[in-house]
Amino acid sequence: MSTTYITAAIRREVIKRASGCCEYCLMSNEDRAIDFVLDHIIAEKHGGVTQSDNLCLSCYWCNSYKGSDLSSVDWDADKAIVPLYNPRLQIWDEHFRLEGARIVPLTAVGRVTVFLLQLNAYERIQERQLLIALGVFPCKKI
Ligand SMILES: [Zn+2]
């Protein structure tokens, strides 16, 4: 969670750049009851700064599960400590793909991010299935 004030200009820039989509789970901020937040990709306690290139748009759930973490354990491979997906430095499609409502990891980075952010938790899959049925998932990046 941020302790530094984020200016309205930076907030607008980050939301616009993300086209209103959570940069982790591809949910649209228009489809969520709880407001999206600006996530410090590298948390301030690790020295991350409050600048556009260290911020991403995140839904409440992705941000809550991520917290200030930078990495997690790749239990499916060699139990290595692997950094989380970084939306500013990496491309979503290279680390994940959608199979219906499931977010399937393609890499170690994808695996630890799906695991830590609980991207395929039962209730999140249920919500995505509903949004798919309504034709509003995945969020359309412009
Ligand atoms: Zn999300």
Q: Measure 90 CA to ligand 1 centroid, in angstroms.
A: 16
Q: Measure 25 CA to ligand 1 centroid, in angstroms.
A: 4
pLDDT bucket at 70, cuts 50 / 70 / 90: very high
pLDDT bucket at 32, cuts 50 / 70 / 90: confident
Q: Is residue 35 included in any domain, yes or no?
A: yes
pLDDT of residue 142: 55
- What are the strands, taking DSSP E only, across the chain? 37-40, 55-58, 71-73, 81-83, 96-99, 102-105
Q: Measure 108 CA to ligand 1 centroid, in angstroms.
A: 19
Q: pTM of the predicted model, to two decimals?
A: 0.93
Domain containing residue 32: 8-133
Q: Is residue 140 included in any domain, yes or no?
A: no
| Domain count within the chain | 1
DSSP tally for the chain: helices H, then strands E: 5, 6
Q: Is residue 50 included in any domain, yes or no?
A: yes
Q: Is residue 141 included in any domain, yes or no?
A: no
Q: Is residue 71 included in any domain, yes or no?
A: yes
Tell me what the pLDDT averaged over the chain comes to. 93
Q: Is residue 75 included in any domain, yes or no?
A: yes
Q: What value does the mean pLDDT take over residues 67-84?
A: 95
Task: Count Cβ atoms within 10 A of the Cβ of residue 26 and give its class: 0-12 exposed, 13-18 middle, 19 or more buried.
Answer: buried
Q: What value does the mean pLDDT take over residues 66-95?
A: 96
